[in-house]
Structure formats: C-alpha cells, structure tokens
Amino acid sequence: MLNKIYTRYRYSVILLRELVITDFRLRYQGSFLGYLWSFLRPLFLFAILYTIFVIFLKIGRDIPHWPVALLLGIVMWNFFTEVTTGGLSAVTNRGGLLRKINFPKYIVVISGTISAFINLLLNMVIIAIFMVINQVELSWSMLLFPILIFELFTFGMGMAFILGTINVKFRDIKYIWEIITRGAFYASAILFPITRIAEVNLDVAKILLIINPAAQTIQDARHFLISDKIPTLHTIQDTWWLTIIPVLLSVAVFIVGALYFRSRSPYFAEDI
Amino acid sequence: MNHTRDVALSVSNVKKSFYLPHHTNGSAKEAITQLFKPKDKGGDYYHALMGVSFEVKKGDFFGVVGRNGAGKSTLLKIMAQIYQPTSGQVKVSGKLVPFIELGVGFNNNLTGRQNVYLNGAMLGFSKKEMDARYDSIVEFAELEKFMDQKLKNYSSGMRVRLAFSVAIQADADILLLDEVLAVGDASFKKKCYAYFDTLKEMKKTIIFVSHGMGAIREYCNKAILIEDGKIAYQGSADEVADRYMQLFEDKSKEKSVADSGQAGERSGSKKVTIDHFNFTKNDEKMKIDTTISCGEHEINNVQLKIEIKNRNKQVVAAFSNLSVDKIVHLNFESNETKRLLFDMKNIYRGGRYHVSAILCEANDADEDGEIYDQWDNIAEFSSTGDVVRYQVVNPGKLSLEPLETNETQKTTRE
C-alpha cells in the first residue's frame, strides 16, 4: 500500500517537473528577447499606467511609494489571472495526452500554476529593485507577504480547478471568465487606492475586499510590504472576524475546486 | 490464492456506453434551456461494450482482434484506465504501460533530446533514469546527428523511430500494444518484431491489439475476438484468427450481383436466358446454382461458361458444363427451364474476384457460336486464402438437377 502511494506520487512529481520545464521552454519560443519579456511586460504596462493615472490623473499622490504599490498590484493581479486562465484551458489543451495515457489529471492544472508562480518570482525581483530605488523602509510586517502570496495561490488554484473542469463541457466559461476578471480588476482597486471607493461608500469598499480574496491579498500586500499608510481591509473594517472571511473563502474555494475536479477527472478523456 | 496470483489483468463484465447528444452546436436559447433542464436532453446512448469478461494470465501474449468499430479501442482504453467503464471492473496487478500511440506528448517545438526526456517522464522515468538510458535510446533510433534539432524538422519515420526507442525502455509488468506496428518501413517492422521476440522470451504479459492475423498467430498464445461489443470467441490465437477471417468471408461471399439487382454488363440474343444465378462459398468450396430458361423456340447444344477474373480483369479460371468432370449437355425445349449446379473447390488465393457467366451456342470447334446471354460481373467474391496452393486440382463437379416446379424457380429475378 505504502509502495503504491510512493510510486503514484513519484510519477506525479516526475511528470510535473517535466511539464513545467516544457511550459517554460515553450513560453518564449522563437522570441528574440526570450525570458526578458517576463520582466519587460509588467514594466511597460506599469509605465503606461503610471503615466496615465499618476502623472496625468494625479491618483495616489497622497500615498507614500504609490508607484511601487501600483506595480505590486499589477504583478499580483497578473499572477492571479495567469493561474486562473491557464487552469481554465489546462485540461482541454492537454486533451491529446489525456486520451492516450492515464496519469493523475491534477498535474496539468498544477503545472500551469507553477509556471505562473515562477513568473511571479521573477517579477518580484523587479519589485524588490523598485522598493530599493524608492527607499521603502524595511519592517517586520514584510514577513507576512509570503503568507499573502500563499493565500492568493490557494485561491487561484481553487478557481483554476473549477474553471478547468467546467471548460471541458462548457467552453463558454472562457468568455464569461474573461468578463468577470475584467470587472474584478477594477473592483479590486489596483489602479487606484481603495480609499477612492471608501470615500464614496465605505460599505461597498468593505464588501469588495471581503468577497474577493484577490483584492484583499493585493491590498494587504501593499499595506504590509510597501507602506502601512496604505489602507486595507483590517484598517477600514473593525470587526475582526470579517477580516478573516477572505482567508476562509480561499481555503473553501480550493477544497471545493479540488473535490469537483477530482470527481469529474475520470471522465475527462471521453468528455473532451 | 495461487489462482488469483497468476492473473495479470482481469476484466469482469465491463460495459461502456457513450452518450451521443443530438445537438452538438445548439443555439443560445437551447443552451440556456438546457442549463435549467439538464435531464431533458435529446440524445442516444451508444453501447460500445456490452458485458465483456476475460482474464489474462501472467506471461500471456494475449491478442485482441475485431473489426473496426467492434469495441477494441474502447476496451483497450478501459484496460489502460483512460476511460471509466460504465459498469464492471478491471483489475490490474503490476505496472501497466499502454502504447495506444507512439510518442505520447511529443512536442514539435522541442528538440529530439527534450522530447526524449518528456516522453520518458510519461513512462515514469526521472531525469536521472533517463540520463542512464539516453545513449542507448539515441543509438537504437539511429538519430545521433538529429537530437538537437527540433522535432518539427524530423521526418515521420524519424519521429516513429525516436518514439519507439523510448517506448521499448518502458519497464512494465503488462504492456498494452495497439497497432503500433502499422507504421514504419520494413526495417523498422523488423526491429519491432525483434522487440516482440524479446518480450516473449522475457515472459512479459502483453495485450496486443491488431488486424494482422499473421502477427496474432505468430506471437499470441491466446486471443479474443470482439464483435459488436461482446466477446464473440475466446481461445487459442489460431482459432481466433480463423474466426476473424470468417467474419470477412461471411460479409463478402455470395454477393450475387444478379440477385442484388445491380447487374453488370449484359448482352446477347436472349434466346436462352440466365434467370437465376446464386454464388456461395466457404473456405473449401464454392457453389454456383443457376436456372436457365429457353424462349419460344427449342435450342440444343447450349453451353454455360463461367469465367473468374481477378481484379486486373485477367481470367484466372474458366469452366463450363462441357469442361468439368462430366459433360452435361444442355438442350432446351420451348419454354423449358433447367437448373444447373457447379460444385467447385475454392482454390483462389487472397483477393477480390469477379464472376462472369456466358450462355452461348456450343460447337465442336473451340470457338464460340452465337451468344445468347452474356452477363459480366454477375457475382463477385473475396478470397482470404493466405496460402497459395501450388498443386494442380480438379476444379470441381457439375450436376444437372431436375426442377420440381419451374414457375417458382423462375421468378427470382423478374
């Protein structure tokens, strides 16, 4: 029995490793700058958004290190969308493989999320550089950042399992999810401080952060990593148990997603 | 307990149905109504497998044969645990590696080397294990110079060689092989057979799906024949291969064109006509059963010649009522109908044949007289004899049967 578990997971690890390597090899295949694009893409996006929102629209002037917070928000949001949209098409893209060989199906979803995670780590190098340039003060609260990333990863992977499973039979989910993420991008207050929403209606700002772990982790990351002057859920919400709802939600989404994926995965080969 | 210990794979009462929806690309309105009434779907179930049970013992070279669409591939995918059976069970003891296709996961944009490692991972080999095997894989594939080229620059033959070289590294207790030999040139096939020989020597358990009865007979010790989702026959490889060949004979034999109405070229004066022509055959024998009727005027010395042509329209056999073991003279009174039977040996090697019947005036000189009814391609058949018999054989027997009632026999074609 133990032997069986060992061989099963040994196989998963070997396959996962090889699929992640393949993903990375193929990601910037044929491009001249290759992996540099992993840095250049968020940098250019940042440059555009900074010009529009900070220089012209004068947003975030009152907040310390806002440009770094803006970049951090963009990088984390991109990570979240990469994990979810990658997971969405993970099963259908590997249809040929699923029909030819039996292997633990969750590997196709996880290999995509790991690729996204490695990309996030590369981007964090840029953020670190920006933090140094902007002279962001070091603080103990920065240690909370990996936990926040873990929470975002958990939530994203849970969504990836759900979306990937739905997409096998209902391809419209791709377009639906595209619209949802577009809306959630603005609802997550990435281009502007959450205070902009809170000033208009405090309850809306609270609800947006409570029901969306992606927004909560991004605002928390800004608060703990960049500057404690940046408001986040626990600074605008006093009731402590409401502030842990997004964490519980992430765990719940992950568990539901994993179970749903597991219950449907034996039929992927014939349903694709 | 000894009994179960030497069973490598057991399939018990496996059934598999596929749901086939009627509308694959419905309108938005339909899609929305379906969301709310998921049970109210229009569709059929296709029963690919309807209760299949068998056991494969350790060390068996087990053949699975059947026509296209019989359910072989579905069965294979269920054994490989790619599909879930609708009901029933598959029990596997040991590590099973399926080769439903060579080079699973091969990616055109990766180099040969990278693909070897990827494909190896699919088989469960870690990078370290692949490092140890890499050189022998490349050597076996004879692709030393191409390993750093991208796979998209490989010819299809090179791809197959590379895939096969990785595949034979598979360290499995049970191997599922599906028609992988269908591709490749003669020298590649030779390598495949050599690999089969080693597998057989190593007493590995092999489940082999093929259409090639030669390979089934040579390698398998047991086999099953799948027909319409059920096991039609189970036994030794030879017995199963024979049964399989019979399936095709049953389908293609005695397609009397005259009976089916799609007659070939027909010409002649029609003073005497072929009314009925029935052709039947099995492995050993062929029978021709004809009725011939005469018109208003009595006619003597009629000859019925039968020609059998191969697909190149060459006559490979010809005989008549005047040339078989005994001579039967055909003389007709006005409006008389006669039944003529040929009882022949099936001496034809594999291939497709066409039968022509020529009803003509017989004369002593070896040339034909007036043609009464010439019917080309009146019947066709396939012979599956894989062995050419070189002995000279008497083509058969001939008899003229009395007709009980002329009327009933006559009506078949009109």
B-chain residues near A22 (CB < 8 A): 107, 110, 114, 118
CA atoms within 13 A on the CB side of B387: 5
Residue labelled with tokens 């496996």: B14
φ, ψ (nearest 5 deg) of residue B122 = -60, -35
- Ranges of residues in chain A with a pLDDT under 50 are none
* Contact with chain A for residue B170, Cβ under 8 A: no
Tell me what pLDDT residue A251 has.
Answer: 96
CA distance A11 to chain B (A): 5
CB neighbour class for B54 (10 Å; exposed up to 12, middle 13-18, buried from 19)? middle
List all residues of chain B from 66 to 95 with a beta carbon under 8 Å from chain A: 77, 80-84, 95
Q: Is B83 within 8 Å of A269 when comparing Cβ atoms?
A: yes
CA distance B244 to chain A (A): 27
Any idea what DSSP says for residue B325? S
Q: Read off the pTM.
A: 0.72
CA dist., res. A222 & res. B189, Å (int) = 64
Q: Is A14 within 8 Å of B126 when comparing Cβ atoms?
A: yes
Cβ-contact B394, B317 below 8 angstroms = no
Which of A22, A29, A102 has its CB closest to that of B81? A102
B-chain residues near A270 (CB < 8 A): 18, 83-84
Tell me what pLDDT residue A151 has.
Answer: 94
Tell me what pLDDT residue B25 has.
Answer: 54
* Contact with chain B for residue A99, Cβ under 8 A: yes
How does DSSP assign B17-72, residue by residue? EEEEES-SS--HHHHHHHHH-TT---EEEEEEEEEEEEEEETT-EEEEEE-TTSSH
* Contact with chain A for residue B121, Cβ under 8 A: yes
- Extents of the domains making up chain B: 255-383+393-410
**Which helix (H) or strand (E) is B224 found in, with range?**
strand B222-227
Tell me what pLDDT residue B409 has.
Answer: 39
Tell me what pLDDT residue A1 has.
Answer: 67
Mutation to test the B interface, candidates A100, A107, A175, most B Cβ within 10 Å: A100
Instruction: Compute the residue count for chain B.
Output: 414
The CATH label, of 3.30.390.10, 1.10.3720.10, 3.40.50.1980, 2.70.50.60, for the domain at B255-383+393-410 is 2.70.50.60
How does DSSP assign A15-27, residue by residue? HHHHHHHHHHHHH
Number of H helices and E strands in chain A, helices first, is: 14, 0
ipTM greater than 0.90: no
Q: How far is CA B74 from CA A100, B230, B231, B321, in A?
A: 12, 12, 13, 52
For residue B411, give the 3-state DSSP assignment.
coil
CA distance A76 to chain B (A): 30
| Tokens (6 digits) for A196 | 């902009």
* Contact with chain B for residue A10, Cβ under 8 A: yes
Q: Is A267 within 8 Å of B84 when comparing Cβ atoms?
A: yes
Cβ-contact A108, A19 below 8 angstroms = yes
Burial track B195-225 (b if 16+ CB lie within 10 A, e otherwise)? bbeebbeeebbbbbbbeebebbbebbebbbb
Q: Is A98 within 8 Å of B127 when comparing Cβ atoms?
A: no
The end-to-end CA distance of chain B, in Å, is: 68
Nearest CA in chain B to A18: B118
CA distance A116 to chain B (A): 20
Nearest CA in chain A to B105: A97
Mean pLDDT by 10 residues, chain B (414 residues): 71 87 60 60 79 89 86 87 90 85 82 90 88 89 87 85 86 80 69 81 86 81 89 88 77 46 68 84 79 84 85 80 77 84 77 84 69 83 57 58 47 36
CA dist., res. B46 & res. B22, Å (int) = 12
Tell me what pLDDT residue B368 has.
Answer: 60
CA dist., res. A134 & res. A68, Å (int) = 8
Cβ-contact B298, B333 below 8 angstroms = yes
